[in-house]
Amino acid sequence: MAIFISRSAAETQELAERLGNAIPSGCIIGLSGDLGAGKTQFVKGFARGLGATDRVHSPTFALVNIYSTGRLPLYHLDLYRLETHDQIIAAGLEEYFSPQGVSIVEWVERWQGREPSSYRRIHIEVMSESARRIFYDNDGA
């Protein structure tokens, strides 16, 4: 587990972009952190690292946004509004835990199924209004 101190949204996006550049197909990234911690900022940078040109926004109400303009499809899930494993299954989100591309799952702690084989954790902790401590599985980025 590596730790990165981000002093701005731009630095958070830069770290995520480096990770997106190196990620192989089939990976699931579990993204956690409090409301306003910068999870969507992270996904914006990650999508840029994949070469996606889509506008990235939070899928809180849609549950999943799909970005397909990069070198791999990116599935951006948000489990915030779902409280149980059965609700996640009923919403049809289970398929994104075996992606043909990369899935990033915000509020991953709500997933109660087995941990996928190609799983990486990212946790964003708020330090101040602009600073974040980001814990991530280090894959060389």
Q: What is residue 80's DSSP assignment?
A: T
Q: What is the mean pLDDT of residues 104-131?
A: 87
Q: What are 46-70's pLDDT values in tens digits?
A: 999 999 999 999 888 889 999 999 9
Q: What are 97-115's pLDDT values in tens digits?
A: 888 999 999 998 887 766 7
Dist CA 28 CA 56 (whole Å): 18
pTM, full prediction = 0.90
Give me the pLDDT at residue 139, please.
58
- Homologous superfamily assigned to 2-136: P-loop containing nucleotide triphosphate hydrolases (3.40.50.300)
Q: What is the dihedral of CA 88, 92, 42, 81, to 10 degrees?
A: -40
* Average pLDDT score, the chain: 91
Residues 103, 95 contacting (CB under 8 angstroms): no
Rg (CA), the chain: 14
The amino acid sitting at 29 is I
Dist CA 76 CA 92 (whole Å): 14
* DSSP-assigned beta bridge partners for residue 124: 33, 134
Question: Coil, helix or strand for 14?
Answer: helix
Give me the pLDDT at residue 59, please.
87
Q: Is residue 24 very low, low, confident or very high in pLDDT (cuts 50, 70, 90)? A: very high
